[in-house]
C-alpha cells in the first residue's frame, strides 16, 4: 500500500479572478459549456468546518486544533449566497444543494434555507432544495429545516457497526445518534432520504451487506461511493478503491438486483432495484445506487458547479483553482455584470478529470494540488 503523504501547502490560496466581460447580458435560462453540457446543479458550501475527522476528507493530521479556518468575515453572507443563487437559477440551474464541511454547523442555516426557498427557476417553479449532512445534528434540526423549506437530505454514513463508524469519523461519535437523525428527518418529511457510504477496501467494506440489509425496504436509498482522490490530504491510493462492480457483486450474492433507468440527465448514481419473487423490481423493497467516479467516469453528463463558502466558483470536484465571485459581489458589480461573468466561466468549462485520470502519469496525479472536499463539498 502506498505511503500516506500529507501536503504542506494550502490549496485555498490558488484563486483566479472572475472574468469581467465588457458586454453585460440578461440570462436566457440555458448555458452550455465547451463540451455542450448544460448548467443545472449548484452546490453551495456554507462552512469549511466539520465536527468529524474522517480520514478520507478531513484527517486530523491536517485539520488539527491549529488549522486556520476561514474567518467569519471571509464567508459569504446569506444575502450574498441568495443573490448568486438567483443569478444561477436565471442561467438554468434547477437544483441547489447545501454542503460543507458540515452545513448544520453554520449558525442560523434555517434562515438561509428560507431565503433560498423563495427563489424560482426560469419556468417559475421552486428549485429542488437539498442538503448533505453527516447527521450528527439532524435529530435536533430536522423539523426546523423542513419548516424553513428544505425538501430533502442526504446523510453520509460509512458503517453500521459502531466501532467501525467511530474509527472512521475519528471523534468517537456513535452511529446510533446518526440513525436517530435519519429517523427524525423521515418523520419531518425530508424525503426521499439518501444515505451515502464511501467504501474503502480493508476499512469498511465488511459493512456493505449490513448497510443494505438495514435500509432495504425503509424508503431510504443507500448509495455506495468509490473512494475518490478528491483533494490532496487523504493519502488516496488505488489499492483502497473497491470498484462498484465488486460492491454490486457482493450485494447480489445476498439480494437479487435489477438495473433501473436514470431519473434525470447527469445523474451520478447508477440505480439498481431490489427484485421481488417474480424477478422484477419491487418498489416496496427500494433501491441502491453506485457512484463510480474512479472506475466508470460520468464526466460527459456532469452539469454541476460548486460555490465555496468564501465565494469561489469551482467547475469540477477535482479542480485546482476557483474563480473569485466574492470580489464581484463586494466590488459593486451589478447583477448583469455578474451574470455575464458566470456565463463566461461556464462557457469555457472543459473539465473531465475522471475520464482522463487513468491516462495521466502517476507523478502528475500526485503533484496535483486539488481543492479539498471539505472546502467545496461532495
Dist. CA 145–CA 149, nearest whole Å: 7
Residue 194 marked ligand-binding: yes
Distance of CA 376 to the CA centre of its chain: 8
Known binding residue 373? Answer is no
The verdict on whether residue 306 carries a ligand-binding annotation is yes
For residue 306, what are the CA distances in angstroms to 53, 163, 316, 373?
Answer: 22, 33, 7, 11
CB 374 within 8 Å of CB 57: yes
How far is it, in rounded angstroms, from Cα 367 to Cα 364?
Answer: 5
Residue 99 is labelled as binding a ligand: no
The answer to whether 224 and 197 have CB atoms below 8 angstroms apart is yes
Cell of 350: 472543459
Task: Report d(CA 294, CA 241) in Å as an integer.
Answer: 8
Is 201 annotated for ligand binding? no
Q: Is 326 annotated as a binding residue?
A: no
Would the annotation count 375 as a binding residue? no
Do the annotations mark residue 101 as ligand-binding? Answer: yes
Instruction: Confirm or deny that 237 is annotated as ligand binding.
Output: no
271 is in an annotated binding site: no
Which DSSP symbol is given to 105?
G
Whether residue 69 is annotated as binding a ligand: the answer is no
| 316 marked as part of a ligand binding site | yes
Helix (H, G, I), strand (E, B) or coil at 316: coil
Nearest to 317 by CA among 328, 330, 302: 302
DSSP letter at 329?
H
24 is in an annotated binding site: no
Residue given cell 428544505 in the structure block: 150
The answer to whether 376 and 308 are in contact (CB under 8 A) is: yes
Question: Residue positions in the annotated binding site for S-adenosyl-L-methionine?
Answer: 56, 101, 156, 228
Question: Residue positions in the annotated binding site for [4Fe-4S] cluster?
Answer: 50, 54, 57, 299, 302, 316
Question: Residue positions in the annotated binding site?
Answer: 43, 50, 54, 56-57, 97, 101, 132, 156, 194, 228, 299, 302, 304-306, 316
Question: Residue positions in the annotated binding site for GTP?
Answer: 43, 97, 132, 194, 304-306
Amino acid at each position: 500500500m502506498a505511503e500516506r503523504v500529507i501536503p504542506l501547502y494550502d490549496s485555498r490560496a490558488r484563486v483566479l479572478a472572475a472574468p469581467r466581460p465588457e458586454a453585460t447580458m440578461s440570462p436566457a435560462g440555458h448555458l452550455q459549456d465547451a463540451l455542450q453540457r448544460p448548467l443545472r446543479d449548484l452546490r453551495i458550501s456554507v462552512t469549511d468546518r466539520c465536527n468529524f475527522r474522517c480520514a478520507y476528507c478531513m484527517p486530523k493530521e491536517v485539520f488539527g486544533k491549529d488549522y486556520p479556518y476561514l474567518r467569519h468575515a471571509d464567508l459569504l453572507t446569506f444575502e450574498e449566497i441568495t443573490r448568486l443563487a438567483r443569478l444561477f437559477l436565471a442561467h438554468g440551474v434547477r437544483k441547489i444543494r447545501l454542503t460543507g464541511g458540515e452545513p448544520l454547523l453554520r449558525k442560523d442555516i434555517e434562515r438561509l434555507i428560507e431565503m433560498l426557498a423563495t427563489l424560482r427557476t426560469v419556468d417559475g417553479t421552486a428549485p429542488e432544495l437539498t442538503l448533505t449532512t453527516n447527521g450528527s445534528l439532524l435529530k435536533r434540526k430536522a423539523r426546523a429545516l423542513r419548516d424553513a423549506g428544505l425538501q430533502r437530505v442526504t446523510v453520509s454514513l460509512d458503517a453500521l457497526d459502531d466501532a467501525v463508524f467511530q474509527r472512521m469519523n475519528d471523534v468517537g461519535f456513535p452511529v446510533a445518534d446518526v440513525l436517530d437523525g435519519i429517523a427524525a428527518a423521515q418523520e419531518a418529511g425530508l424525503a426521499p432520504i439518501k444515505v451515502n457510504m464511501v467504501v474503502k477496501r480493508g476499512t469498511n467494506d465488511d459493512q456493505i451487506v449490513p448497510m443494505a440489509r438495514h435500509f432495504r425496504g425503509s424508503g431510504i436509498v443507500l448509495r455506495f461511493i468509490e473512494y475518490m482522490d478528491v483533494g490532496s490530504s487523504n493519502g488516496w491510493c488505488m489499492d483502497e478503491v473497491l470498484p462498484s462492480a465488486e460492491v454490486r457483486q457482493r450485494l447480489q450474492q445476498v439480494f437479487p438486483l435489477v438495473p433501473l433507468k436514470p431519473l434525470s440527465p447527469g445523474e451520478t448514481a447508477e440505480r439498481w432495484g431490489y427484485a421481488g419473487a417474480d424477478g422484477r423490481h419491487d418498489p416496496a423493497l427500494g433501491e441502491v445506487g453506485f457512484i463510480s467516479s474512479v472506475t466508470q467516469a460520468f464526466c460527459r453528463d456532469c452539469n454541476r458547479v460548486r460555490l465555496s463558502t468564501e465565494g469561489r466558483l469551482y467547475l469540477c470536484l477535482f479542480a485546482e483553482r476557483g474563480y473569485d465571485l466574492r470580489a464581484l459581489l463586494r466590488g459593486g458589480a451589478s447583477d448583469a455584470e455578474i451574470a455575464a461573468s458566470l456565463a463566461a466561466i461556464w462557457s469555457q468549462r472543459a473539465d473531465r478529470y475522471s475520464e482522463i485520470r487513468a491516462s495521466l502519469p502517476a507523478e502528475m496525479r500526485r503533484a496535483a494540488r486539488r481543492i479539498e472536499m471539505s472546502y467545496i463539498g461532495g
